[in-house]
Amino acid sequence: MRIDVLTLFPPMFEPVLGSSILKRAAEAGRVSYHLTDIRAHTTNKHGKVDDRPYGGGPGMVMACQPLWDCVQAVEQQDPLPATRVMMTPQGKPLTQPMCERLAELPRLLIIAGHYEGIDERVVEELAPLEISIGDYVLSGGELPAMVLIDAVVRLLPGVLGHDESAFHDSFSPGANRLLDHPHYTRPPEWRGKTVPDVLLSGDHAAIEKWRKQQAEDRTSQRRPDLMKERDEPNDSND
Ligand code: ADE
């Protein structure tokens, strides 16, 4: 997969894309990252990419021209067709099924906006998938873009080793799209707390049953909405 990121702050991405699993995925040739500075595409002689909002109000609005030209230039760098994605708190909430679908695409072009917003005309013209990482507001789309990249890249074939497989993670198919069960490791006793006997029993069927029950109890207590969704699947929530 090719991932393009269009941002005003390329250096913010370097430590994240250059560490841990995201770095390993690129080294293994499963993904390539391409950072482009939107400012490099402005025709404004002072390097401006934003302006005051029509109608008044606080903050600045990202102008159409730099972003439009930047998208055109980046798309031309490679014939692979790009799926355009824009990070915005007004977008569709990011979910695990959505990440699974994005992981099947050959190329993502992620726009990490900044400022109060982006001129609606360029958003309409680019027609990106608009994605939110939750009902809270960050200072820009950079951290949300990194969240999206991490969630997608770890799903690419061959990125996680067998021991790290994403299949049983919370919200994933192997966890029935519920929260994960609790985990324990050595020692068998710590600060007077012991490990549930069943996990030491060697009885794999009993362990599976216990884990499934724990996952369901946890989900009912912490995220009753997920239990409800399982009973009444709702694709629009994907
Ligand atoms: N930009 C600012 N806040 C955001 C959010 N919650 N999700 C996606 N992009 C954002």
Residue nearest to atom 6 of ligand 1 (CA): 89
Continuous segment of H or E residues that includes residue 87 = strand 83-93
Which percentage of the chain shows pLDDT scores above 70?
97
The per-residue b/e assignment along 99-132, b for 16 or more CB within 10 angstroms, e otherwise, is bbebbebebbbbbbbbbebbbeebbeebebebbb
Is residue 13 located within the same domain as residue 61? yes
Least confident span in 98-112, 131-145, 167-181, 210-224: 167-181
* Residue 232 appears among annotated catalytic residues: no
Provide the pLDDT confidence category of residue 230 given band limits of 50, 70 and 90: confident
Q: State which of 111, 129, 135, 138 you would mutate to test the pocket of ligand 1, scoring each by most atoms of that ligand within 8 A of its C-beta.
A: 138
How far is 215 from 237, CA to CA, in rounded Å?
21
| Residue pLDDT, tens place only, 8-18 | 999 999 999 99
Evaluate whether residue 162 is within a structural domain. no
Evaluate whether residue 163 is within a structural domain. no
Provide the pLDDT for residue 114. Answer: 80
Mean pLDDT for all residues in the chain: 95
CB 87 within 8 A of CB 59: no
229: its two tokens: 């969704």
More confident residue, 193 or 232: 193
**pLDDT, average across residues 169-196:** 95
* Residue 106 appears among annotated catalytic residues: no
Axis-axis angle for helices 224-231, 204-222 (nearest 10):
110
Provide the pLDDT confidence category of residue 162 given band limits of 50, 70 and 90: confident
- In ligand 1, the atom with minimum distance to the C-alpha of 131 is 8
24: its two tokens: 């390993």
**pLDDT, average across residues 186-212:** 98
Evaluate whether residue 219 is within a structural domain. yes
Is residue 127 within 6 Å of ligand 1 at its C-beta?
A: no
Residue nearest to atom 7 of ligand 1 (CA): 132
Q: State which of 6, 7, 95, 133 you would mutate to test the pocket of ligand 1, scoring each by most atoms of that ligand within 8 A of its C-beta.
A: 133
Provide the pLDDT confidence category of residue 236 given band limits of 50, 70 and 90: low
Is residue 226 located within the same domain as residue 143? no
Residue nearest to atom 10 of ligand 1 (CA): 88
Provide the pLDDT for residue 35. Answer: 98
Q: State how many domains the chain has.
A: 2
Is residue 73 located within the same domain as residue 117? yes
| Residue pLDDT, tens place only, 29-38 | 999 999 999 9
Evaluate whether residue 11 is within a structural domain. yes
**pLDDT, average across residues 110-114:** 93
pTM for the full model? Answer: 0.95
- Which CATH number characterizes residue 80's domain? 3.40.1280.10
More confident residue, 170 or 67: 67
189 pLDDT higher than 90: yes
Evaluate whether residue 6 is within a structural domain. yes
Is residue 12 located within the same domain as residue 120? yes
Is residue 132 within 6 Å of ligand 1 at its C-beta?
A: yes
* Residue 79 appears among annotated catalytic residues: no
Whole domain around residue 30: which residue ranges? 2-153
Evaluate whether residue 159 is within a structural domain. no
My answer on whether omega of the bond before 81 falls inside 30° of 0, hence cis, is no
State the CB neighbour count (10 A cutoff) for residue 201: 11
How far is 227 from 214, CA to CA, in rounded Å?
13
Provide the pLDDT confidence category of residue 92 given band limits of 50, 70 and 90: very high
Evaluate whether residue 160 is within a structural domain. no
Is residue 176 within 6 Å of ligand 1 at its C-beta?
A: no
Provide the pLDDT for residue 238. Answer: 56
Provide the pLDDT for residue 235. Answer: 55
* Residue 233 appears among annotated catalytic residues: no
Is residue 138 located within the same domain as residue 184? no
If we measure between CA atoms, which residue out of 238, 236, 220, 237 comes closest to residue 228? 220
Is residue 92 located within the same domain as residue 16? yes
Provide the pLDDT for residue 234. Answer: 64
Is residue 144 within 6 Å of ligand 1 at its C-beta?
A: yes
Is residue 127 located within the same domain as residue 178? no
Query: Which of the 8 DSSP states describes residue 124?
Result: H
Provide the pLDDT for residue 231. Answer: 74
Structural Rg of the chain based on CA atoms: 22
Is residue 106 within 6 Å of ligand 1 at its C-beta?
A: no
Is residue 102 located within the same domain as residue 189? no
Q: Which of 69, 89, 180, 216 is catalytic?
A: 89
Strands 61-62, 117-118: pairing kind: parallel
Is residue 132 located within the same domain as residue 14? yes
Provide the pLDDT confidence category of residue 218 given band limits of 50, 70 and 90: very high
Is residue 188 located within the same domain as residue 138? no
